[in-house]
Structure 1
Amino acid sequence: MSRTTIPSRALRLVAAVGAAGLLVAGCTSNSPEASEDEGGGQSGAVSNNDEPGETVTIGFSGPAADHGWLAAINSSALEEAESYEDIELRAAEGTNDPSLQISQIETFINEGVDAIVLLPTDGAALTEVATRAMEAGIPVVNVDREFSTPFAARTTVLGDNYGMGVSAGTYACQLVEENDLTDPVIAEIAGIDSLPLTQDRSQGFADALEGCNQEVDNRVAAEFTVESGEAEASNLLQAAPQIDILWNHDDDQGVGVKAALDNANRDEMFFIGGAGSANAMRWIQDGEMEATVLYPPTQAADGIRVARLLAQQKGMSDLVQPAVPRRIVLDAPVVTADNVEEYLPLGFES
């Protein structure tokens, strides 16, 4: 697929949200080869952080795996811990009950683990116990859902919800230009509207579309489930007899969206997904979907890596700054037929 110039305002937005994603590179590129300065200056890397060090005990508490992305969060954390011989992982049972998760963190504190990686069921509800862990000298790595105060975590690892919207909207603008779409009908199927993450995704999408003088013409909100995706997509299709570009926020609910499209024999649109499921990537390979925007399911795995560095009192070797950053925001790239093979190993099963 050819690539055209991205509208300048949208390009600035992508640059802004993408720059923060570069921070995580220090976690994932620790080989000496990856750290050589190609410009002839001084190399920033001074050590290989993947070499075994002092054994550390990391407590991990994540959500119940009732959603493909959440299941991938948990499994990626477990697999990452197993890849290091100097990590002893104590993984609590996944739960959507804040009270149970609080008791899990209290157990980790009493056991004196070296670090805690926590994707909170409810960031506000888990803030107090996470703060207690920090006060006990146990560094907490907060994943995906932020606490109410920065004092509750040493480092926070986040996906970029606003950046997802920017990436989807920027790609939509590219499709408008490449295909010479005149007055295109652009539709959006959001997730749960009351959640800040959904609001951020929609705002990023609208902001990027503004860069090419477009806007969302038809919008519905689902609930991140297959059933709700199919129901809301069916409603949308009835209300909009013609759609040129459709962005669905979540690939798990996208299974239902795709079923509604197939049932209605609607294939006139460019269908863009969100989160990066394996089935969405297979649809891209088969020509049944245009693209999906990644919301990395590796956040907890990155959290495990960062917790190991903190517990071993190391920094990110590819950064000149010796300390682990307090905030790491991962990138939200667009996966298309051109690069799907690269991202397919990161895809999760819906």
Structure 2
Amino acid sequence: MSELRKQIFGDSFFRPLITHLTDAYPKFDGERFLSLVQDTDWEERELKQRVRHVSGVLRKTLPDSYEEAIEVLMEIAPLGSGLAYITFPDFVEVYGQEHWDVSIRALERFTPYSTSEFAVRPFIERDQPRMMAQMLKWASHSNEHVRRLASEGCRPRLPWAMALRELKRNPEPILPILELLKEDDSLYVRKSVANNINDITKDHPALVRQLSTAWIGRHPHTDWIIRHGARTLLKRGDEEMLQLFGYKGHLPVHVEELELSADKLLLGERLRFQFNIVNESIESEKLRIEYGVEYVKANGSRSLKKFQLSDKLYLPGRTKVTREQEFRDLSTRKHHAGEHIVSVWVNGERKQEAAFMLELD
């Protein structure tokens, strides 16, 4: 997580928090709280470490009784919102697992103001049947944030979170929750349902194919969820999923004249490329056009990353397509020198490729 994001824990967060805590719990010692938070290691801590550290300091400065401490946090929860307030559900995650009922009530209370998606996961690991029954109740909640928690919290592979081992192995307990949410009016909720389905595709693609076939065509919201949730399978060129969304295979369509703007590229520069889509059919065809980049890895091998370029009807004849791709280091990707391959894909089929050399300096 970025250096910038950890700076959310500044005076703009701590000063109002201390005021709210003191109003709700007059014995709260704000100066002691701040001195304990901003200890000698504070500047070195990353975002998640800061969250956990603040939770620990709250435990030292709120009432000794967990139930009393959590009531204070629940009272002030509506007075602040944003990522920094994830410390409240983190407090529950760390100190509340032996206090099930009050902790579940607190997680529901906190999630509209930050998110409890990470904090629910140890509860799922601890007692999956009990917690998944709670998530199913949340899926019918009137608040979209709580409904989203029902889906997001049980994603088998939620980024930045612990994996849910049993749900990776068998995601069946998730399906009743997704079923309740598959036509949800909130895009915020629908995105979570789609991301949950996409997680499931990593381990159980056949289940997602079955689910998608059963759901398709019932409601526009559901169709959007399926399409977004199946994005990994579509990128893999899964024939069954491509056909489900109306993409035909083995069409009289090919790619010509793939041209790169450079044979050699320096890290930080942009590569421009163009090509022609040639539709030899007598009618328009629905085409999913993607391009791939085979990035050189540290060991010299290459790893393919695909990017969607267009998804539409292409008229008979030739259509020129152009695109640029920047090559710079990211938190999620470090580049290595060597021959990279650019490829063009049509409805899951690799049609043409070209190579260039990436140099670091």
Structure 2 length as normaliser, TM-score?
A: 0.24
Q: Which has the higher strand share?
A: 2
Considering Cα pairs closer than 8 Å and 6+ residues apart, tell me whether 1 or 2 has the greater RCO: 1
